[in-house]
Amino acid sequence: MKIHYYSDEELDFLRNFAYGHSYKEVTDAINAEFGLSLGVNQIRSCLKNHKITTGRTGKFEKGHVPANKGKHPPTKGKMAETQFKKGHIPKNRKPIGTVSIRHNYRRGQKYVYEKVAEPNVWRMKHILEWEKHHGPVPKGKAIIFVDGDTTNTDISNLIMVDRSQLVVMNRWNLKGSNRELMEAAANTAALKISISKAKKSRKERRKSRDDTGD
């Protein structure tokens, strides 16, 4: 099984989505969000390693059939009067299209999420906005914010970069306050990556020559 190195954005997604969902639901959600093909065991390990909880430790494992499946005990008295009826929709259920701002306190950032399906499927608003104009985000790419404001999801404020570029940009604090400066920061990151690869290639060729005695 190929090792997957999780980006900060993917870990943020897991922290915001995992609670209240099964491992399979979390796996399906992150695969759909980032175009991945991770397995349930990979996600289970990732959540454990990063101390992310689903809050469902008492959940029956897949395939378990409860003895009382399909059986509903009769209700009496006040319980029968206040019990939810079939088809009842809780007052606090959010309709599809609802927008919510979620905080990532560890990184001091906020992200906008939009509800896209029932019963409780949410996706990052800036990803939805990009897909609306340009189609799905290719694997290995990330969408970043031109002005650095993670709540500004207007398409004019979004730019796509390689995830490797994003890592370098974060490491070297390369950023901008407008599209021109952000694109320059991304290009600088790409140049650093190219230089690093060239140095590594020269080092490998030199080592190969030394090993063969040429």
**pLDDT recorded at residue 210:** 78
Q: Give the pLDDT score at 74.
A: 58
Q: Nearest Cα to 166, choosing from 136, 144, 195?
A: 144
Q: What are the strands, taking DSSP E only, across 45-201?
A: 99-104, 109-117, 121-124, 141-145, 158-162
Q: Residue 26: inside a domain, yes or no?
A: yes
In a domain, 131, yes or no: no
Specify the 3-state DSSP secondary structure of 121: strand
Distance CA 96, CA 25 (A): 18
Cα-trace Rg, the chain: 23
Residue 25 lies in domain: 1-57
| pLDDT tens, the chain, 214 aa long | 678 889 888 888 898 889 888 999 999 988 888 888 899 999 999 999 999 988 875 555 455 555 556 655 555 555 555 555 655 566 678 899 999 999 877 778 899 999 999 988 999 999 999 999 999 999 999 999 999 999 999 999 999 999 999 999 999 999 888 999 999 999 999 999 999 999 999 989 888 887 776 5
pTM of the prediction?
0.57
Q: What angle do CA 51, 9, 172 make, to 5 degrees?
A: 110
Residue 22 lies in a domain: yes
- As a whole number of angstroms, the distance between CA 192 and CA 27 comes to 33
pLDDT (0 to 100) of residue 2: 76
Residue 16 lies in a domain: yes
Distance CA 185, CA 189 (A): 6
Residue 29 forms part of a structural domain: yes
> Is 94 in a helix, a strand, or coil?
coil
Query: Is 2 among the domain residues?
Result: yes
Structural domain contains residue 78: no
C-alpha torsion angle, residues 201, 202, 203, 208 (rounded to 10): 90
Question: Which pLDDT score, from 0 to 100, does residue 36 have?
Answer: 86
Structurally, the chain folds into a number of domains equal to: 1
Query: Count of CB atoms within 10 A of residue 34's CB?
Result: 21
In a domain, 20, yes or no: yes
Query: In the structure encoding, which two tokens stand for residue 61, read together?
Result: 């494992």
